[in-house]
Amino acid sequence: MKKREVLELASQTYTDDQLAELEHAMDFATSKHRGQKRLSGEPYIIHPFAVARLLIEWGMDMDSVLAGVLHDCVEDTETTLDEIESLFGRDVSFLVDGVTKVSQARSGMRDLDSYLPQTKDNLSKLLIAVSQDVRVIIIKLADRLHNLQTLQYLPVEKQKKVARESLEVFAQIADRIGMGRVRMQIEELAFSYLDPREFNHLKSLMKKRLGKSTRKLGTVRIEVEKELSKQHIQAEINGRVKSIYSLYKKLRKVNGNIDDIYDLMALRIIVDDKETCYKVLGILHSMYQPMIARIKDYIAVPKPNGYQSLHTTVLTPNEQIVEFQIRTHEMHDYAERGLAASFHYHEQKSKKNYVRKKTAVHLPTELQWITQMQEVAARLRDGEKISKKQLNVDLFGDRIFVFSPKGDIYNMPEGALPLDFAYLVHSDIGKHAYSFRVNGVIHPFDKPLANGDVVEVTTRKLSQPKKDWQDLVTTTHARTKLRMQLRKLGVIQAVSGAAAIIHDKALRKKRG
């Protein structure tokens, strides 16, 4: 990766002043890394340049690109954060510091069967980095992706360690912030090193299948293009091929029978607006027989990471099964690049509470888990111990969307209970909760919520939290708020971190 190539790519997006700043950073990093080599024997500087290129391709802001260029300077050279701040500003220094902390946390991942670092200190660094600026994680994803692309130069044992970390941690984080293309790239590369024999087998199997599917799909595509044109609908239609790792996971669900997988290849229809998405869906169902059970509306109810699209699977007159994905250009951009595509920090950077804030900046629904991580990080900084199981649920567990009666959307972990919802809306709502209605029906305190539920909380001013409510919350957020209220009421005494963990273990055992 050459300096000229990065600058040429950047010139398509950024201002002349920003390009000058980028060139300054590249020259600075080149001088600092001079003499350092990668295991391939190439100059080390090609790695920071490659990271910067990825961030530019993802549409990140210039501070992120600069931090990508400089991200290894503090860890691998004598450069200080003060030096970076004086030359490139406080925001860039803050991002470089965050990436350095995540790198240090990653080095603590000694147990390959674990998702997260094993020590409180390393875990704290990772969470604090995540909670203070999500751009840190996006930069780290670029760093990890390029390292995976050059993994062949590492010893086999190291290859598998990095691949396992990538699959179990970084791919999941990429998915959580909606970066679908990056998640797929990380999964494909990591899987190819973890199980090369199976990877090559499935790659060969896919190639054989796609030869026939491509020809058949071409006919369907022409038919759909003609019909949409007749209806005066402007649309882009292209094919989407299932990734090898996605195929691997799907085959495990269908006992290895590839004939039960209908979406090896799908047609993607991209239109201008949401209304047209539904119109196209109707046209497809008038042309072909829809498989009702396989119609999914991720526009009305997005996936937990913000993904939106209409999915339908149809049967053509020739008995060919075809999957369609219908979305707008904006939805497609988000499906590919996630948070990087709708980056909200541009507007928020000037706000006083942007960095090191006490009050969380409002995040989109699909990023509410970051607010939960902020709270966990604060507890860790205060010296409280947090069980790894809690963090696995909050950060990596499956998510659901539930709604307030007014239509507000709340993103929660699967298995969340009504009190978890009440405390997520507001701690006072949780404090005075008296009863719950879900979808208009009285709902018990101990019954989990489901995706799409409409939850109504009935409060009474005289109602107070009870000690046994500790068995009726599952999220870190609700448990923290509830315990604070119970201590304030004198119902419970302050407990040590160890006691809290023992209580949580007992609670999990009780739930089965």
Mean pLDDT of the chain: 82
Q: Are residues 232 and 309 in the same domain?
A: yes
Q: What pLDDT is stored for residue 377 in this prediction?
A: 57
Known catalytic residue at 76 = yes
User: In the predicted model, what is the mean pLDDT of residues 139-157?
Assistant: 93
Which helix (DSSP H) or strand (DSSP E) does residue 3 occupy?
A: helix 3-10
Q: Are residues 334 and 355 in the same domain?
A: no
Q: How far is CA 292 from the centre of its chain?
A: 29
Domain residue limits at 164: 3-194
* Residue 203 in domain: yes
Q: Are residues 296 and 366 in the same domain?
A: no
Domain count, the chain: 3
Which helix (DSSP H) or strand (DSSP E) does residue 290 occupy?
A: strand 289-290
Domain end among 313, 338, 363: 338
Domain end among 338, 368, 396: 338
Q: Are residues 210 and 186 in the same domain?
A: no
Q: Are residues 36 and 158 in the same domain?
A: yes
What is the token pair recorded at 56?
A: 């530019």
* Residue 285 in domain: yes
User: In the predicted model, what is the mean pLDDT of residues 412-423?
Assistant: 92
- Measure the CA–CA gap between 348 and 332, rounded to whole angstroms: 24
Q: How far is CA 43 from the centre of its chain?
A: 32
CATH number, domain of 443, equals 3.10.20.30
Q: What pLDDT is stored for residue 381 in this prediction?
A: 54
* Residue 23 in domain: yes
pLDDT above 70 covers a percentage of the chain that reads: 79
Q: In this predicted model, what pLDDT tens digit does every residue of 257-314 receive, in sequence order?
A: 887 777 788 899 999 999 999 999 999 999 999 999 999 999 998 887 778 999 999 9
Inform me whether the pLDDT recorded for 335 exceeds 80.
yes
Residue 50, judged by CB atoms within 10 A of its CB (0-12, 13-18, 19+), counts as: buried
Q: Are residues 420 and 325 in the same domain?
A: no
What is the token pair recorded at 297?
A: 């509306």
Q: Which residues contact 512 (CB under 8 A, 6 or more apart)?
A: none
* Residue 343 in domain: no
Q: How far is CA 367 from CA 214, 215, 371, 373, 377, in A?
A: 37, 40, 8, 10, 16
Q: What angle do CA 181, 3, 64 make, to 5 degrees?
A: 50
Catalytic residue among 5, 8, 27, 75: 75
CATH number, domain of 110, equals 1.10.3210.10
Q: Are residues 394 and 283 in the same domain?
A: no
Q: In this predicted model, what pLDDT tens digit does every residue of 433-455 receive, in sequence order?
A: 999 999 999 999 999 998 878 99
**3 state DSSP class of 98:** helix
pLDDT bucket at 128, cuts 50 / 70 / 90: low
Catalytic residue among 23, 57, 76, 504: 76
Inform me whether the pLDDT recorded for 496 exceeds 50.
no
Q: How many CB atoms lie within 10 A of CB 311?
A: 18
Q: Are residues 118 and 235 in the same domain?
A: no
Domain end among 338, 370, 394: 338
pLDDT bucket at 511, cuts 50 / 70 / 90: low
pLDDT bucket at 109, cuts 50 / 70 / 90: very low
CATH number, domain of 252, equals 3.30.460.10
Q: Are residues 202 and 90 in the same domain?
A: no
Q: Are residues 274 and 371 in the same domain?
A: no
Q: Among all chains, which residue has been given the structure tokens 């990734």?
A: 243
Known catalytic residue at 408 = no
* Residue 495 in domain: yes
Q: Are residues 63 and 175 in the same domain?
A: yes
Scored b (16 or more CB within 10 A) or e, 91-104 reads bbbbbbbbbbbbbb
Pairing relationship of beta strands 296-297 and 236-241 according to DSSP bridges: unpaired
Which helix (DSSP H) or strand (DSSP E) does residue 194 occupy?
A: helix 180-194
Q: Are residues 165 and 18 in the same domain?
A: yes
Give pTM, 2 decimals: 0.71
Q: How many CB atoms lie within 10 A of CB 497?
A: 16
Among residues 202, 152, 136, which one has the least CA distance to residue 38? 152
- Measure the CA–CA gap between 5 and 14, rounded to whole angstroms: 14
